[in-house]
Structure 1
Amino acid sequence: MSSPAESYARARRRNSHRELAEFTDQLDFALDPFQIEACEALEGGHGVLVCAPTGAGKTIVGEFAVHLALAEGSSCAYTTPIKALSNQKYADLVRRYGPEQVGLLTGDNSINPSAPILVMTTEVLRNMLYVGSETIDRLRYVVMDEVHYLADRFRGAVWEEVIIHLPEQVRLVSLSATVSNSEEFGQWLQSVRGDTAVIVSDERPVPLWQHMLVGKRLYDLLAEHGGDESQTRRREVNPELVRASREQLQRLGGWRGDRHRWRPTRRTDVVTTLDRQGLLPAIYFIFSRAGCDAAVEQCRAHGDRLLEPEDRALVREIAERHTAELSASDLDVLGYWEWLDALEMGYAAHHAGLIPAFKETVEELFVRGLCKVVFATETLALGINMPARSVVLERLVKFNGETHQRLTPGEYTQLTGRAGRRGIDIEGHAVTLWSPDVNPTEVATLATTRTFRLRSSFEPTYNMAVNLVGQIGRAASKRLLERSFAQFQADRSVVGLVRQRDEALAETRQDLTEVHCERGDVREYAELRRELTALERDSSKTRSDIARREVATSLARLRRGAIVHVPSGKHRGYAVVLDSRAEQGETVLRVLNTQRWSGKVDGRAFHGWVEPVETLKVPKNFNPRAPQARRDLAAELARRTAGMSPGRRRPRERGPDTSRIDELRERLRSHPVHSCPDRDEHVREFENARAAERKAAKLEAKVAARTSSLGHTFEAIFGVLVELGYLDPSGEPGSVTEAGALLSRLWSESDLLVAEAVRSDAWSELTAADLAAVVSALVYEPRGGDGFDTVNVPVGSRRVRTALGDLTARWRALNEVTASHGAPAIRQPEPGFALAAYRWVSGDSLGAVLSNLTQAGFEISPGDFVRWCRQVIDLLEQIGRLDTAIATLAQSAAASMRRGVLADPTERQLIDEAYDEASETDSGKVHTT
């Protein structure tokens, strides 16, 4: 029972925050303090930045923004980084407010676009801002879920573009994972968006326990000391775990162990251990798609069923619903029956190599508790709402596309943050598997370190520059870009550089005051000495270079029988040349000397021009391996050279700097400081001052570069766009040419190359299949650097090959222009997906396309096939919306790709799915995990 004071405080809060009170009345759980603080700030008219751990319930604040928008009769955009999250949030909001109030815009789907609540990917909102959509005028709230994505080096710039460009009347709700520089990020938001409340919570709603599995035994990772909860605890590695780890290493015979003898714990044994400990459902992270699929197959072959018979029937029903649009032949190609068998046993894989229908099935089953173990790559940690009771990390190393790297503390926290389901579990569990190269101390460091620093990845692009200049002009665009988080962080880092620069300047002044000689000017004397030293060094290098060239030229002129003097090396003395040959670009002599040695001599044995002192006839049948032949020829060589002088070396010409060196030496000797007994000390003091001066100059250059780095990039891009005819040189608002208007509607990493190809009418003779193949080269990036042999393997029609060649030529020409301005380079076209796109648009089945690729030596998973096709579709549809001759062709190509595994869910299907899930919730209440 509440005290009178608590009741009074609660009543006062309800009166001052009526909308929050109405919102919380609809929930079946109480809000946490950080959620209340954020919602109150939002209702009070502030923007908010909420940083909290995964699963803490940040989205409640975003949902309250939706509530406020509806209460005010305004609009709210709820943005997410990926389409799967948008679909998920759309379903959540439809369950709560009904389909009439909610719309979905993801590029693939456009449902009810005039609704007051619009769920969309962040890219869609960015594009709406640039084209001046009327929807923007209605917005009063924008929720940016997973805003820490702005650190993503490929897509992060989109978040900053949106934050900077949103109209002033929009209140921003930024939801982020816990970051260590939340205060810095909040300060930037305040600088560009105005009043912003920063709310940070480090508390997980469900406590997380850390473990290591050694063999089949589960150990606590940390030992806690200190009894009273109010006291600070000292967390150390569990000594029992350390002992067990040491014993394992000793069995393997060494500090790091013999990996050839070590065998990792079988995945089936890990699952069995988790099941016995009551730690299922679990997400089992394996940083390999093939590893995830293999783990599912191992568990399926092992035969342990984790689901009851009645659950298996429901699993089949859900799987069939998600795959209803796929043909029987497609299902066979996808391994549907083996996949379904594993699902009915309680096992599944989740990674980018699966088609969306399979991934969505696994996600629904897991949320419903009908999938007990998901073997996943790290992509599952990026936002999808699939919390588990426990998380397993098989390794602490993952491949980043180029190299294998250890997990960072931030990555470890992101992965293990999935453990512990709010409202279901009282605690979550993170389990790391022991191996010879994973010691408990390392895992403890990862588990207890909280350093995930948010760093901007923002850079201006060609499309961005055209849109900005068109709207606000060149000067204002540059100022706006300099308001980015990237520039904000650069400017803050400059503070430290300025301090270092000032210290270096002060050191310079101090050192210069200490440089003094009563006999003369130390600076003048030191400069003379420095110039002389540099000239002598260069002259010496020049003489060495001349000598090497002389040796190389003269050795190449020597013929069989020439007698030469070898001045250095183990076999120095007179020798007769048996033959000469070029090895690795240098001439090598095979000789016989007076000591009967026969072997190779190269240019390193000579110091200058090599002139024969005499010649000696070498028998045609001479065999250097025959001892008698060597003795006879060596004796004749000794007789010929007895008493002979090696001869004088050919004099070299004096170098061009010789007279200057002589002059400087004379000036140095006659300088007053030269006679000072402390002259070397004086020069040393002066050189210290010069070093400090150089350091200050370098720091000054860094300060200048950082304080205007984005501005320089923008100016370089502006120069490229003017030269190519996309912008008028005036740079005034609206100074966008017809070509610039085309570029402004192309959002692609290869935006400028796409625009160049489209405006040149280079694709007018292509078919729909041809165009899909060529456009694929503008989006496709091979995994792990795997290329595709387009020289010897077909890529479609002859027209495709010609168009790809033209595209590459345009890319080279473009990069010459960008390089001349110092602007960002354009990504090279990659034709590795051209054959797949061509065959699919031509009407081949999924099985035929994948088989065709395999025969061409190109392996691709069905999930990757779908993913790249969707990116091709997206770019085709952008081209299809342009006012060009090929717009209709591009639309046709995109439409031809949307079939089978690429068919999108209809509006009715998405709404039905939302209501299917709603039927399982209590009427009138919403439970958010």
Structure 2
Amino acid sequence: MSSEPSLSGPVPDDTRPDSHPELARFAASLSFGLDEFQRAACAALEDGHGVLVCAPTGAGKTVVGEFAVHLALMGGTKCFYTTPIKALSNQKYADLVAVHGVESVGLLTGDSSINADAPIVVMTTEVVRNMIYANSSALNGLSYVVMDEVHYLADRFRGAVWEEVILHLDPAVRLVSLSATVSNAEEFGDWIQAVRGDTTVIVDEHRPVPLWQHMLVGNRMFDLFDGSAPNDGRREVNPALARYIRQREVVDLSGPGRGHRGRSERGGGPPVSRPELIRRLDADGLLPAIDFIFSRAGCDAALAQCRRSGLDLLGPERAAAVDEVVDRFVADLAPDDRDVLGVDDWRTGLRRGFAAHHAGMLPAFRHAVEELFVRGLVQMVFATETLALGINMPARSVVLERLVKYNGEAHVDLTPGEFTQLTGRAGRRGIDIEGHAVVVFAPGMQPAQVAGLAGARTFPLRSSFAPEYNMAVNLIRRVGLNGSRELLDRSFAQFQADKSVVGQSRQIDAVTRKLRKLDVELEELAGRRDIGLGGARAGDATEEGEFAGFLGYMRLRELIRTRERELKFEKRMSLQNSVVEDLFALKRGQVIGLFGGRHRGLAVVLEPASDRRDPKPLVLVDDAWAGRVGVKDFLNPPEVLGNLRLAKTVDRRTGRGRRDLASALRSSGIELPRRKQSRRSAAADDNELVDLRRQLRAHPAHGLPDHDELFRAAERRTRLVREIDALEQSIADRTATLRADFDRIVAILEELGYLVPGPDGPTVAPPGDLLTRIYSESDLLICECLRSGVWDGLQPPELAGVVAAVVYESRRDAFAGPDLAVSVPPLRTALVETHRRWRDLSRLEMRHSLDPTREPDAGFSMSIHLWASGRSLPECLAVAGDRGRPLPAGDFVRWSRQVIDLLEQIRIGAGEGDLARTARRAVSAIRRGVVAVELG
């Protein structure tokens, strides 16, 4: 890697102390010297430029943001320090308070509001976006905005927020963008320069702490790369590692070790036990370490395995220090809640130096683990990948047990970017002279695969910007319709699309040149055969009619092929739509036939599909396999062959339960019919195709030999014309997508009365005022419910329950839908009415060719209703459980926070009235116990 940072944009000519006095003053206050990239970025800031800094994890990018804070304080202005997640905001707030004092620093995260009028305010990025849309007075005097982890704009759920802030901030505000190393940093910097003015782009690929890559095979540690190979920029896999793995595979295939293979491939953990793994790392001096396990259950299982062992990494004296920290973090928890949360078991692991860290834990537990880890009182953390997202918990080494993770829909391979982000935690600056990344070998894992991930330098940053309802009304209120479209044209998404269009335009020019050259060849060939070309020529108009001459004949052939493809596509789409509709309509207990490649036989529906767009009912096949089937499993719409009476609760989790169900299905008397035969092709009944074929047969060129050189040249010409058409269509699609989606959103908002059409473009109507204040994935649905009054008259716990349905999302396939057994009639009625509004809205969205709003999910509604009614934590966790397991406490707190956040938006947006008062009381009712502890 290069040790010198690359810079573009306005670069300071001189970074000497006398030319940058504030940088000299700032540097003197630090306990370490500045790296060259830090010094260059800070000097650019002092010279009045914005900066984009791209550097590896742990390189010290945040120093540049801290210098922006220093400049704001010295200049008597304001600085906002934005982060992507609340935990990182809390951490940065504590860091800045330690340097500048509690009076100078504030915190705004939605959950917390501390000293909001301070000159330095730390906040999540959504908060500053909302300030901009609300024209908040807090923006007065703002001189710097630090956007930490700005590469989050690639996040498909929240990334648009970063672009909105970058585009909307006053031009006088200097932007300090801090990013992980990305391969298209210059492209990103070019965009920021285009929309924000002079910006210095600094890219530094040097890791201050070198990272060594290893593989642990059994109990043997190997370097991943060959250290003896010539250093020519390419790194070869260590031959000793590859040889040892081949030897093991031979033994595994011929001996009892074959059992290990099955366990590992099913994700049951690495062949080496976790205590053995920790002892091996400890013996090599590689602790403290983070072991990334891509499931919460896996993290908890690893921790339990260590607790059962005799492993102790601390000793009595340091265990006492652990107790002090634990006591502080659990002090506000009620005794009963401590029992429910398993405080004693959690403490047992911590006192011996190991812990788990994942989103299912109570946030207080996670924060305690983070503090203990930083203080060296936890030596091994089993974590999900969320730990890699900005939290300051570096380790000496990082362990990866698998190279596959579940992304919410399927098990997918880690990307090079994810691998880099995870292993980037290894190596503590100022503590370790080197970091270590250890991949635990499992059967089937290839060293070349690991080397490919470890050797990838960076990953590209792609925009996820897309217009939404709240964005649309806020944009139109601020800058009008034309201004909104212009702003969309300035987005990074459009910038990237336009940049790719340049390349495609060059392709069109190149293909067009080939086409003209081929036309000359065709002229010569046709002249020798005494055949007129006629038809449409490259760049020429024809006076002989579209199908005259030889090229007209070739045009007819191409139209026939195109029409045949269209008919096949229409038939396939018609069948697919029928499959979608029929799959979604399947009811519990109905029996269908499966004829797919994976499974064949009778199948009974155990759970209906929940998503109309991609219906996947849960079925059990007569061979005892149970799982979800989708459109890809059916060539024809599923036919209901009969019904099987099912018990209220069926056992599909155990082998015995599945076998009993399969036996009942086979004994039901329902028979599997033969696979349906497709009916005759639609081409035979298509008048357009019949007419084209008639013209082809009657054409004078129809009798020419098909193998003639002229035909071959004409076919090449057809392919070139087709290529040009495809490129032109791609350009049109790329350049129009954002505007087209925005116009569809505007059309829906006009149809529903949130915008009022006018000669100069739409204006925001009174209902649109409410929409400008609702920031949610389901913003328009929420406003429709508020406008129609379906949430009026509810008691605070009932309002909390129905609000939960539009924020909560069940994990995996546990979707509850609107028909959850809710025992409170007013809440159940409100949920049904909310679902009815969603159904109407989704039909409208599909009519306008937009993706429907996510369906409300009542899976958390009863739990939050009970909590807001004063019921106990165990009862609330049990009610919200998934697959018979209670909801993790961390999830309960996280969803409670989101319910509170939306209730606060409703309280503000609804003005003075009964609903606003109910929302306020609901928030107060939820802010108790573990929720109050976390919110402070």
Using structure 2 for the length normalisation, give the TM-score: 0.80
Query: After superposition, what is the alpha-carbon deviation per residue over 1:272-319, rounded to whole angstroms, capped at 9, x for unaligned?
Result: 111111111110111111111111111111021111312111111111
Query: Kindly tell me: are residues 117 and 691 of structure 1, through their superposed partners in 2, closer, same or farther at Cα, counting changes over 3 Å?
Result: same
Residue number in structure 2 paired with 1:891: 920
Structure 1 residue 657 displacement after superposition: 9.3
Confirm or deny: 8 A CA contact 2:395 2:427 kept in the other structure. yes
In the TM superposition, what are the counterparts of 1:97-112 in structure 2 within 5 Å?
97-112=100-115
Q: Which residue of 2 aligns with 1:164?
A: 167
Q: Select 2:842's aligned residue among 815, 825, 833.
A: 815
Contact 2:229 2:235 in 1 (8 A): no
d(CA) in 2 for partners of 1:601, 1:831: 38
Q: Distance in 2 between matches of 1:531 and 1:683?
A: 13
1:599-630 alpha-carbon deviations (Å, 9 max, x no partner): x999999999xxxxxxxxxxxxxxxxxxxxxx
Q: How far did residue 220 of structure 1 move?
A: 1.4
Cα distance per residue 1:701-746 (max 9 Å; x no partner)? 1111212321111111111111111112128599211101100000
Aligned position for 1:421: 428
1:827 equivalent in structure 2: 854
1:477 has 2:477 as partner: no
Match of 1:211 in 2: 214
SS of equivalent residue, structure 1 residue 881:
helix
Change (3 A) 1:327 1:14: same
Per-residue CA deviations over 1:801-854 (Å, capped at 9, x if unaligned) read 221221122112112222333344322112221111111111111111123345
Check if 1:698 corresponds to 2:700: no
C-alpha distance in structure 1 between counterparts of 2:13 and 2:638, whole Å? 86
Contact 1:150 1:159 in 2 (8 A): yes
Q: List per-residue Cα deviations over 1:237-259 (Å, max 9, x = no partner).
A: 22221222112111111899772
Provide the rounded CA distance (Å) in 2 between the counterparts of 1:435 and 1:179.
30
Alignment correspondent of 1:559: none
Once residues 866 and 458 of structure 2 are traced to their aligned partners in structure 1, the CA distance between those partners, rounded to angstroms, is: 48
Please say if residues 50 and 200 of structure 1, whose CA atoms lie closer than 8 Å, have aligned partners that are also in contact. Answer: yes
Distance change (3 Å), C-alpha of 1:250 and 1:741: same
> How far apart, CA to CA, are the structure 2 residues paired with 1:534 and 1:226?
58
Give the aligned residue type for 1:771: L
- Work out whether 1:837 is the aligned partner of 2:894: no
Q: What's 2:323 paired with?
A: 316
Structure 2 distance, partners of 1:603, 1:307, is 66
| Structure 2 residue 278 is the aligned partner of structure 1 residue 271 | yes
Write the deviation string for residues 472-527 of structure 1: whole angstroms up to 9, x where unpaired.
10001110111111111111111122122223333333334433352445642554
Match of 1:798 among 787, 803, 825: 825
Q: 1:34 aligns with which of 32, 37, 48?
A: 37
Who is 1:454 aligned against?
Answer: 461
- The letter for the 2-side match of 1:746 is I
Distance 1:769 1:731, change over 3 A: farther
Q: Distance in 2 between matches of 1:476 and 1:92?
A: 40
The question of whether the paired residues in 1 share the 8 Å contact of 2:92 and 2:122 is answered with: yes
Q: Secondary structure at the match of 2:31?
A: coil
Structure 2 residue 57 is matched with structure 1 residue 54:
yes
Identical-residue share of aligned pairs (%)? 53
- Identify if the C-alpha distance between structure 1 residues 225 and 507 changes in structure 2 by more than 3 Å, giving closer, same or farther: same
Q: In the alignment, is the contact (CA less than 8 A) between 1:519 and 1:676 conserved in 2?
A: no
Please give the alpha-carbon distance, in whole angstroms, between the structure 1 residues aligned to 2:501 and 2:387.
Answer: 37
CA distance in 1, matches of 2:385, 2:180: 16
Pairs within 5 Å for 1:697-716: 697-716=725-744
Query: In structure 1, how many angstroms separate the alpha carbons of the residues matched to 2:281 and 2:22?
Result: 44
Q: How does 1:170-319 map to 2 (within 5 A)?
A: 170-225=173-228, 232=232, 234-253=234-253, 259-260=261-262, 264-319=271-326
Q: Which moved more, 1:812-821 or 1:281-290?
A: 812-821
Paired position in structure 2 for 1:874: 901
CA pair 27-586 structure 1, distance change in 2 beyond 3 A: closer
The secondary structure found in structure 2 opposite 1:236 is coil
Describe the shift of the 1:731–1:80 C-alpha distance in structure 2 as closer, same or farther (beyond 3 A): farther
What SS does the corresponding residue of 1:76 show, helix, strand or coil?
strand
* Residue 731 to residue 223, structure 1, CA distance change in 2 (3 Å): farther
**Alignment CA distance shift 1:422-1:855 (3 Å):** closer
Distance 2:275 2:341 in 1: 24
CA contact (8 A) 1:102 1:115 kept: yes
Say which SS state the counterpart of residue 237 (structure 1) adopts.
Answer: coil
- Structure with more relative contact order (C-alpha pairs < 8 Å, separation 6 or more): 1
**Contact 1:281 1:389 survives alignment (8 Å):** yes
Deviates more, 1:139-148 or 1:658-667: 658-667
Distance (whole Å) between structure 2 residues aligned to residue 107 and residue 707 of structure 1: 36
Give, in angstroms, the shift of residue 213 of structure 1.
Answer: 0.9
Deviation, structure 1 residue 16: 0.6
1:685 deviates by 3.3
Which of the numbers 347, 353, 369 marks the counterpart of 2:376?
369
2:931 equivalent in structure 1 = 902
Q: Given residue 160 of structure 2, which amino acid in structure 1 is its aligned partner?
A: A
Distance 1:257 1:808 in 2: 51
Paired amino acid for 2:716: N
Alignment of 1:117 onto 2:120: yes
Secondary structure, aligned partner of 1:114: coil
Structure 2 unaligned blocks of 5 or more: 1-11, 265-269, 536-547, 572-636, 642-671
Task: Tell me which residue corresponds to 1:491.
Answer: 498
CA distance in 2, matches of 1:12, 1:806: 65
Partner of 1:627: none
Structure 2: which amino acid aligns with 1:32?
A: D
- 8 Å CA contact 1:471–1:733 kept in 2: the answer is no
Query: 1:225·1:234 contact (CA, 8 Å) conserved in 2?
Result: no
Matches within 5 A, 1:671-682: 671=700, 673=701, 680-682=708-710
Shift of 1:893: 1.1
Equivalent in 14, 18, 22 of residue 19 of structure 1? 22
Q: For 2:747, which of 709, 719, 733 is the aligned residue?
A: 719
Shift of the alpha carbon at 1:891?
A: 1.7
Equivalences for residues 515-526 of structure 1 within 5 A: 515=522, 516=526, 517-521=529-533, 523=535, 524=548
Q: For residue 144 of structure 1, report the CA deviation from its aligned partner.
A: 0.3
Residue in 1 that maps onto 2:446: 439
Shift of 1:666: 7.5
Alignment check: 8 A CA contact 2:56 2:424 kept: yes
Query: What is the 5 A alignment of 1:368-387?
Result: 368-387=375-394
- Corresponding residue number in structure 2 for 1:770: 798
Q: 1:681 Cα deviation (Å)?
A: 4.2
**1:70 and 2:73 correspond:** yes
Give the distance between the partners of 1:799 and 1:514, measured in 2 at CA.
79
2:767 to 739, 742, 751: 739
1:142·1:171 contact (CA, 8 Å) conserved in 2?
yes
CA distance in 2, matches of 1:71, 1:872: 40
Task: Give the paired residue count.
Answer: 795
Displacement of 1:680: 4.7
Query: 2:88 maps to which residue?
Result: 85
- In structure 2, relative to structure 1, the CA distance for the partners of 1:40 and 1:767 (3 Å cut) is same
What CA distance in whole angstroms lies between the structure 1 residues aligned with 2:208 and 2:773? 44
Work out the CA distance in 2 between the residues paired with 1:749 and 1:601: 44
Contact kept, 8 Å, 1:773 with 1:795, in 2: the verdict is: no
Q: Any unmatched runs of 5+ in structure 1?
A: 1-8, 546-582, 588-599, 609-652, 908-929
State the alpha-carbon separation in 2 of the partners of residues 380 and 88 from structure 1. 13
Q: Max radius of gyration: which structure? A: 1
Q: Secondary structure at the match of 2:807?
A: coil
Shift in CA distance, 514/865, structure 1 to aligned 2, threshold 3 Å: same
Secondary structure at 2:51 match in 1? strand
Describe the shift of the 1:509–1:801 C-alpha distance in structure 2 as closer, same or farther (beyond 3 A).
farther
Q: Secondary structure at the match of 1:405?
A: strand
- Cα distance in 2 for residues equivalent to 1:196 and 1:820: 43
